[in-house]
């Protein structure tokens, strides 16, 4: 336990040292020093502007997550309850999932303009497919013995769904939600980079345009910490669900 | 329990065709206006015009060559890093959370820094694509090497293979299906990195043409190029997915 924590600390120390060496080698125009970056990040965390940006991003991210999870869950269950529908839909959904959605940003811009809805839409097209795919596959993969049990017990359709199918499918659905939330964050930030006038992504592109290298790194660092925290906590919940199932 | 494959395929084709026809009707009846989207049939004709006239051949070649180079770099680099991490489990355990969170950061915000380092041109784009693709390969190399069954490794020990022979004759083939998954993802991510870089700043490329078309309200070029790019990516993805499936049915899932 403590040995593991020690390893993590060691890795971070090593990363900071490597970062600093690279900074010295390639120069401050390309990579700022870790110390500079961290102190700028601390300054950002104390500034009002940053929190305004963060609130903007958070609003879009939250909305996009809600839509991706709810709509993805509904579409996924609709397709997953019928094996035939699942077989028809599987390669179609898989293909759409695999296309690089960043190429679609001009279409989103044309359709929604520079608005909150553009950010939400871009987040949703990133996040909804992992949720659909996992829900669909979780429901079609529910063991036949579970289905038969519900028939032997003469359970009603609603009882079968709430007492058998959902609990059996939940762990896999949650894996999809975890991936969906991560890519929704990415999608929301991408939309802010290319198609918006507010939010953390926009602050990032502004830093990029005036070539404020320290600002770019400080924002990226904060985003990374936020993403790692979300990812870590969702992993933690997922492990708990699996232990129950 | 499975349904007849032909009827599934027919319904699937009908669904896809139905979606296109609906979109066509919506565009033709101006429910979706022309500035937002041109009808799918016009996208196809714009695509054909781009391919047949050859006026954007240099851009298309630029993107394809760069993407191929970025994929090669990320696959080779990712495999090497993955193999080294796998050899040092303690180090790997500490690094895993970082790998897991990597894709939440839009890596291409560092693209301007690459331009400072390499100048505007191929090198910056290739490094960008490789940086985006490499972590998918690392992660899948790790999970592939994890899943080499201990029976195989014991057999290698019984046959007194040295480390190198073990790697080439046992580990690589056994991890094969997962490595293909890694390659598949590395392809998808490298394309994202390169096209995003071309959107931001480049001298040529398909992404640049799409961005230009968007800025000039030249929807034919924009949608034609977009369709061409998506079809190329889907074709590569489809081929790799097929290969992956075949390898999985040959080796994996015992």
* Measured distance CA(B25)–CA(A134) in Å, rounded: 32
Q: How many CB pairs under 8 A join A and B?
A: 133
- Identify which of B94, B113, B188 has the shortest CB distance to residue A31: B113
Residues of chain A with C-beta less than 8 angstroms from the C-beta of B233: 98-100
Distance CA B87, CA B21 (A): 54
- Residue A43 · residue A221 · CB < 8 Å: no
Confidence band of A245 (pLDDT split at 50, 70, 90): low
Q: Mark yes or no for CB contact B101/A194 under 8 Å.
A: no
Chain A nearest CA to B53, separation (Å): 23
Q: Do A109 and B214 touch (CB under 8 A)?
A: yes
Q: Are A163 and A147 in contact (CB under 8 A)?
A: no
Spatial contact of A234 and A91, defined as CB atoms under 8 Å apart: no
Q: Minimal Cα distance from A220: which residue of B?
A: B105
Query: What is the pLDDT at residue B2?
Result: 55
The pLDDT of A91-105, averaged and rounded, is 83
Residue A22 has pLDDT above 90, yes or no: no
Give the C-alpha distances (Å, rounded to integers) separating A119 from A70, A107, A122, B114: 18, 12, 5, 27
Q: Do the Cβ atoms of B226 and A219 come within 8 Å?
A: no
Which residue on chain B is closest to A88 by alpha carbon?
B12
Percent of chain B with pLDDT over 90: 10
Share of chain B above pLDDT 70, in %: 96
- Contact (CB, 8 A) for A125 and A101: yes
pLDDT at B254: 41
**Subunit contact A228:B214, Cβ cutoff 8 A:** no
Mean per-residue pLDDT, A79-84: 82
Residues from chain A contacting residue B31 (CB–CB below 8 Å): none
DSSP B166-182: IIIIIIHHHHHHHHHHH
B47 in Cβ contact with B56 (< 8 Å): no
- Tell me whether residues A88 and B238 touch, CB distance under 8 A: no
Tens digits of residue pLDDT in B38-81: 888 888 888 888 888 888 888 888 889 999 999 999 999 999 99
Q: Is the pLDDT of residue B97 over 80?
A: no
ipTM of the complex: 0.76
Q: Which of A57, A39, A45, A47 is nearest to A214 (CA)?
A: A39
Q: What is the pLDDT of residues A128-179, one digit of tens each?
A: 999 998 888 888 877 778 878 888 888 887 888 888 888 888 888 888 898 8
Lowest pLDDT segment from A39-43, A69-73, A167-171 = A167-171
- Return the number of other C-beta atoms located less than 10 Å from residue B218's C-beta: 15
On the 0-12 / 13-18 / 19+ scale of CB atoms within 10 A, A202 is buried
| Average model confidence (pLDDT) across chain B | 83
Secondary element (H or E) of residue A113: none
Neighboring chain B residues of A208 at a CB cutoff of 8 Å: 109, 112
Q: Exposure pattern of A210-227 as b/e (b: 16+ CB <10 Å)?
A: eeebbbbbbbbbbbeebb
Chain A residues touching residue B211 (CB < 8 angstroms): 106
Per the CB < 8 Å rule, is A4 touching B93?
yes
Q: Which of A78, A186, A183, A95 is nearest to A132 (CA)?
A: A78
What is the full DSSP assignment across A145-198? HHHHHHHHTT--HHHIIIIIIHHHHHHHHHHHHHHHHHHHHHHHHHHHHHS-SS
B115 to chain A: closest CA residue? A30
Cβ pair B90:A31 closer than 8 A: no
Kindly write down the DSSP assignment for every residue of B195-251, as one continuous string.
HHHHHHS-SSSHHHHHHHHHHTT-HHHHHHHHHHHHHHHHHHHHHHHHHHHHHHHHT
Q: Identify the band that residue B3 occupies on the pLDDT scale cut at 50, 70 and 90.
A: low
What 3-state class would DSSP assign to A141?
A: coil
Q: Do A87 and B2 make contact, defined as CB atoms within 8 angstroms?
A: yes
Q: Which helix (H) or strand (E) holds B253?
A: none
**Cα–chain center distance at B86:** 24
For the stretch B224-240, pLDDT in tens is 888 998 888 888 888 88
Most A CBs within 10 A among B27, B32, B104, hence the mutation to make, goes to: B104
Query: A210: which chain B residues are within 8 Å (Cβ-Cβ)?
Result: none
Q: Do residues A169 and A142 make contact, with C-beta atoms less than 8 angstroms apart?
A: yes
Percent of chain A with pLDDT over 90: 13
């Amino acid at each position: 336990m403590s040995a593991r924590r020690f390893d993590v600390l060691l890795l971070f120390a090593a990363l900071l040292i490597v970062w600093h060496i690279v900074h010295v080698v390639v120069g401050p125009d390309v990579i700022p020093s870790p110390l500079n970056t961290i102190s700028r990040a601390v300054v950002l965390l104390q500034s009002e502007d940053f929190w305004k940006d963060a609130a903007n991003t958070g609003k879009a991210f939250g909305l996009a997550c809600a839509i991706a999870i709810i709509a993805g869950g509904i579409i996924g269950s609709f397709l997953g309850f019928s094996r035939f529908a699942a077989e028809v839909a599987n390669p179609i959904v898989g293909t759409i999932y695999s296309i690089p959605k960043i190429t679609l940003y001009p279409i989103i811009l044309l359709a929604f303009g520079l608005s909150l809805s553009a950010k939400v839409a871009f987040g949703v097209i990133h996040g909804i497919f992992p949720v659909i795919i996992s829900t669909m596959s979780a429901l079609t993969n529910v063991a036949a013995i579970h289905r038969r049990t519900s028939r032997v017990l003469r359970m009603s359709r609603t009882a079968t769904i709430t007492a058998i199918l959902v609990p059996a499918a939940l762990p896999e659905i949650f894996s999809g939600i975890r991936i969906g939330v991560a890519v929704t964050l990415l999608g929301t930030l991408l939309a802010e980079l290319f198609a918006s006038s507010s939010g953390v992504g926009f602050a990032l592109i502004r830093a990029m345009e005036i070539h404020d290298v320290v600002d770019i790194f400080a924002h990226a660092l904060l985003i990374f910490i936020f993403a790692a925290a979300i990812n870590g906590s969702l992993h933690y919940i997922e492990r708990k669900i699996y232990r129950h199932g | 329990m499975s349904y007849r494959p032909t009827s599934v395929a027919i319904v699937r084709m009908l669904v896809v065709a139905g979606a296109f026809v609906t979109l066509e009707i919506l565009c033709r009846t101006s429910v979706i206006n022309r500035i937002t989207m041109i009808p799918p049939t016009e996208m196809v004709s714009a695509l054909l015009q781009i391919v047949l006239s050859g006026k954007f051949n240099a851009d298309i070649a630029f993107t394809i060559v760069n993407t191929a180079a970025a994929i090669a770099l990320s696959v080779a680099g990712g495999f090497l890093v993955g193999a080294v991490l796998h050899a040092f489990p303690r180090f790997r355990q500490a690094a895993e959370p970082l790998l897991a969170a990597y894709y939440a950061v839009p890596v291409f915000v560092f693209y301007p820094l690459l331009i400072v380092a390499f100048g505007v041109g191929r090198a910056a784009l290739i490094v960008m694509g490789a940086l985006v693709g490499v972590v998918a390969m690392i992660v899948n190399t790790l999970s592939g090497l994890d899943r080499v069954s201990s029976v195989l490794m014991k057999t290698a020990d019984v046959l007194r293979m040295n480390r190198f022979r073990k790697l080439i004759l046992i580990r690589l083939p056994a991890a094969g299906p997962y490595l293909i998954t890694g390659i598949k993802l590395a392809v998808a991510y490298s394309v994202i990195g390169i096209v995003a870089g071309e959107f931001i700043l480049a001298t040529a490329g398909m992404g640049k043409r799409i961005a230009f078309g968007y800025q000039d309200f030249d929807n034919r070029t924009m949608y034609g190029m977009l369709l061409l790019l998506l079809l190329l990516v889907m074709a590569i993805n489809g081929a790799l997915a097929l290969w992956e499936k075949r390898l999985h049915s040959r080796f994996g899932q015992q």
